[in-house]
Amino acid sequence: MVHPPPATSSQEQTQAALEAMAAYFKATDQQRPRQERQHLAREWLAAVRRLRTTAAQ
């Protein structure tokens, strides 16, 4: 049985950023409260910043 290589930190951060983005858009689509959407947007932006910081190193 062939196993995929373990995920790298960059891959994990990319996945986290994509999941945060999806959560934000899902909340927007479902017309969730503004405060909840703002919280999700902050999480998404923080994930992207972490990803960019790692990529720059």
Q: What is the dihedral of CA 29, 21, 23, 42, to 10 degrees?
A: -100
Instruction: Tell me whether residue 5 is in a domain.
Output: no
- pTM of the shown model: 0.77
Number of compact structural domains in the chain? 1
Instruction: Tell me whether residue 28 is in a domain.
Output: yes
Enclosing domain of residue 22: 15-56
Positive or negative, the Cα torsion across 23, 25, 31, 33? positive
Instruction: Tell me whether residue 8 is in a domain.
Output: no
pLDDT at 52: 86
Instruction: Tell me whether residue 37 is in a domain.
Output: yes
Measured between alpha carbons, how far is 56 from 30 in angstroms, rounded to an integer? Answer: 35
pLDDT at 51: 86
Write the pLDDT tens digit of every residue in 12-45. Answer: 889 999 999 999 999 999 999 999 999 999 999 9
Instruction: Tell me whether residue 3 is in a domain.
Output: no
The CA–CA distances, whole Å, from 27 to 6, 11, 38 equal 31, 24, 10
Instruction: Tell me whether residue 21 is in a domain.
Output: yes
